[in-house]
Structure 1
Amino acid sequence: MKIRKGLISDIQGVIAQSRERAIRSVDTERVLMYWHIGKIIFEEEQQGEDRAAYGTFLIQSLAEQLQPQFGSGFSKRQLYWYVQFYRTFPNVSALRTHFNWTHYKTLIGIENKEKREFYKAEAAKNNWSARQLERQVNSQLFERLLLSNDVKAVLQVAREEKRPTDAKEIIKDPMVLEFLGLKREAAYYEKDLENALITHLYDFILELGNGFSFVARQKRIHLEGDDFFVDLVFYNRLLQCFVLIEIKTDKLTHQDLGQLQMYVNYFDRFEKQGYENPTIGILLCADKNDAVVKISLPENNKSIIASKYQLYLPSEQQLIEEVKKEIEKLDHPKPTE
């Protein structure tokens, strides 16, 4: 006798799902336990006349008694984390059931409330793992989006209170591609970068932003005997449009912008459906001159975006300097000729 084909895989699927639910249940209970412990300690701290001194004494005393019995999860350092957890999220109903303790440790470490709310909303909406959340914080996603948006707009899109209507609301400049593992000093061709992006497609889509799905690589465009190839084609369901990406491993030129504009025009005329929005083109380049970009494109341009890429995580100071530059441009615009 033979067992039904696929029976083993069905059972394996049930086992995997049950184990995943069990792990999530344990993670949820652990998070709630830490929150309640933090609440108890915090409320006890408020009873002391010198709250800071009493709090230090209280945590030290609790650690000495709890750690030998329950292990390293109840060290002085960990108990401080639990108190900070309660202080940061005082409303237990606001906790996300699919966030584990590592998610919350990352969020607790973010002092700015608006920044923390942004990452909390994005992690929940996109179902980021704790590792993905940490990577997005380390790559300064919030600050990069602020380079072309204000805080209110960034938070509204993250919380799904507003649908993005402009590509700049979800597309970052610069893009951080440290996951490719390419050396910043090394020489490489555009094809090398394209191959690396395809190999790490999941990470690249995460870096691109919300709502992206992959459509094609080296999409052929045939125009009266001449063939052209678009490096990468994506579709964004939030913007409801095609997104074309051209890769340049050197400094962007106005010829590059013209070529991408041709590709965008082709998609708008021959690929786009009537209910879809105009196609967006992204020139992913190693360097760019913003003035060249601005002058090469129409004043009301919303279809072409030039975004620098970098092969390493930026420091917070680097992005602070970039934000300052953008603010200065707004406050002191250059006079027109």
Structure 2
Amino acid sequence: MSFEISKDYPAILNNLKETIRQARMQATIAVNNILLIVYWQIGNTITNQEKAEGWGTKTVEKLAIDLKAEFPDMNGLSPRNLRYMRDFALAYPQFSILQRSVAKLKEADNQPFIILQRSVAKLPWGHNCTLLDRVKLPEERLFYVQKTLQNGWTRDMMINQIESNLYKRLGSLSNNFKTALPAYDSELAIQLFKDSYHLDFFMLSEEAKEKDLESALMTHITKLLLELGDGFALMGRQKKFEVSGKEFFIDLLFYHTKLRRHILIELKIGEFEPEFVSKMNLYLGLADDQLKSEYDQPAIGLILCKTNNKIIAEYALRDTSKPIGIAEYKIAQMLPDDIKGELPSIEDIEERMDKELKEQETPINARLKAIKQKLKNIQTEEIQIPVNYAILHNLFFNEVKSLYKVIIKKLTEFNEDFLSHSINWQCSNKNFNTYEQLDEFWAVEKNIIGLRDFIFSYSFDGFKKAGTEHFNEWVQLKLTIDTYYYGFVLINHNNQQPFLKKLYHQTLTESDKQQIINSIMTQLMDSIEWKIEKITNSKEAL
């Protein structure tokens, strides 16, 4: 007796997996919340005893020893951690009550402070200790708590943002968002963009050019995305726009998944000049005409300069209708000449390292060195960004959909030779027959996340002149979606491998599209010719 799996089984399995993941997450949050309440109660007890009985350092150290003796398998009972618990209780006096009750608070209560005390319950203890050490103002602490929860920052990432003074930098850049954007988008944009960007994860000399700055940013793309903030997806560098026979290039092109807008960034190695605004205005107009789909909002421009005179910036932006922000960047500079002389030269360091390596070289080290050199010599396009919804959304609406239309127009050349034809797209258990159905599907994020294949089919039924030797024809083009690249497969009995692959920062060129169309038409015409020859030979035999 054969074992058959229901067609609904994959969906049921996925639902159960998601249920388990959610339950595990809720359990983790609940355990963390209970642990923080216990820590607060310990800290509150220490605080009260310090006031009433004059507890000092020795008593806290004894308490740590006694608690550890009773609970030897429990971490976090050191004297230092007990003092953190005391500070936690002092910082959030209503914490325990707020976690147990949602009763109405008095109108006189400090609402931001109440929100802070509720929010810290969602952070791990290590994050809370860092906030107690490094951030003293409640409103500033609430800012970092909320950003950490929104972006899923690790403790190190949160420390980096605190040290870069994100609280004071965010929302204060020179811009015209309030007049150029709808109210909701303007407030969100103001909060997303910073007055200055800390790009001190690399060094540049005083003689560096804008292309050097751009290249350095691409080398450290992960750190750049972290500094830009949540929601930025890199779409490319030196994006070319063509208009009236002229070419224009934008330094960096991003897509913001929350704003649903393209973000154009221009890098300037010097101080801000008013003419930068008019140039950005041109780029934004070109981006809206050539990149924006019907589901996107108009693009936003960000001009990054070494220095920014806010008064001049405000005048430059005053009568500009397109949304533009102007910010400074801060980078690490090369060492001054008077310090360089005190340090060994690069050549000296390399010579010493080579000497030490040769003395220690083993077969494994020699092989490692050879492989590293081979890796260095590989001349291929580097992966810049993995797949995400914004990229797939733009890929379909700006590239693939128009490709389908050209392919269909080409295939209709054979419609008159067959009794009927049909067009179909499919993925998983879904089928589509119209562009409207396609648009609805690709516009919803949950439909696209996890998608691996999307197949286009064009079928011809009943070749009219075949007589009793009638035959059908079909072509299938599969869009395959990998974590780091997308590709196209021309499905037939002998081949399931992509004949064209692209990284996600690479758009489909006209040459790529022509290659796809030529491959489809070649396969179809080869098959039709072979069958016509077969029919002809059959009739001649009679």
Give the TM-score taking structure 2 as reference length.
Answer: 0.45
Using a 3 Å threshold, how does the CA distance of structure 1 residues 198 and 148 change in structure 2: closer, same or farther?
Answer: closer
2:177 corresponds in structure 1 to: none
Contact 1:248 1:284 survives alignment (8 Å): yes
Contact 1:45 1:58 survives alignment (8 Å): no
1:254 corresponds in structure 2 to: 274
The 5-angstrom pairing of residues 44-55 of structure 1 reads: 45-47=47-49, 50-51=51-52, 53-54=54-55
Q: Secondary structure at the match of 1:250?
A: coil
Contact 1:217 1:232 survives alignment (8 Å): yes
Using a 3 Å threshold, how does the CA distance of structure 1 residues 306 and 143 change in structure 2: closer, same or farther?
Answer: same
1:105 corresponds in structure 2 to: 129
The percent of aligned pairs where both chains have the same amino acid is 27
1:43 corresponds in structure 2 to: 45
Q: Secondary structure at the match of 1:251?
A: coil
1:76 aligns with 2:79: yes
The 5-angstrom pairing of residues 1-337 of structure 1 reads: 32-33=34-35, 35-43=37-45, 45-47=47-49, 50-51=51-52, 53-54=54-55, 56=57, 58-63=59-64, 65=66, 73-89=76-92, 90-91=95-96, 92=99, 94=118, 99-109=123-133, 110-145=135-170, 147=172, 165=187, 167-178=189-200, 180-183=201-204, 186-299=206-319, 301=321, 303-311=323-331
- Measure, in 1, the Cα distance between the counterparts of 2:185 and 2:132: 28
Q: Secondary structure at the match of 2:297?
A: coil
Q: Structure 2: any 5+ residue segments left out of the alignment?
A: 1-22, 101-117, 175-183, 333-542
Contact 1:35 1:85 survives alignment (8 Å): no
Contact 2:172 2:190 survives alignment (8 Å): no
Using a 3 Å threshold, how does the CA distance of structure 1 residues 187 and 27 change in structure 2: closer, same or farther?
Answer: farther
Contact 1:236 1:243 survives alignment (8 Å): yes
Deviation at 1:262, TM superposition (A): 0.8
- The more displaced of 222-231 and 78-87 is 78-87
Contact 1:28 1:97 survives alignment (8 Å): no
The answer to which structure, 1 or 2, has the higher relative contact order (CA under 8 A, 6+ apart) is 1
Using a 3 Å threshold, how does the CA distance of structure 1 residues 60 and 146 change in structure 2: closer, same or farther?
Answer: farther
Using a 3 Å threshold, how does the CA distance of structure 1 residues 103 and 28 change in structure 2: closer, same or farther?
Answer: farther
Counterpart of 2:291, as a letter, is E
Using a 3 Å threshold, how does the CA distance of structure 1 residues 36 and 187 change in structure 2: closer, same or farther?
Answer: farther
- Measure, in 1, the Cα distance between the counterparts of 2:186 and 2:149: 18
Q: Secondary structure at the match of 2:326?
A: strand
1:13 corresponds in structure 2 to: none
Give the TM-score taking structure 1 as reference length.
Answer: 0.70
- The more displaced of 128-137 and 284-293 is 284-293
Using a 3 Å threshold, how does the CA distance of structure 1 residues 28 and 138 change in structure 2: closer, same or farther?
Answer: farther
Using a 3 Å threshold, how does the CA distance of structure 1 residues 95 and 251 change in structure 2: closer, same or farther?
Answer: closer
Using a 3 Å threshold, how does the CA distance of structure 1 residues 33 and 214 change in structure 2: closer, same or farther?
Answer: same
Cα deviation, 1:148-167, whole Å, max 9, x if unaligned, reads 59xxxxxxxxxxxx766452
Give the aligned length. Answer: 278
- Measure, in 2, the Cα distance between the counterparts of 1:104 and 1:243: 34
Counterpart of 1:100, as a letter, is P
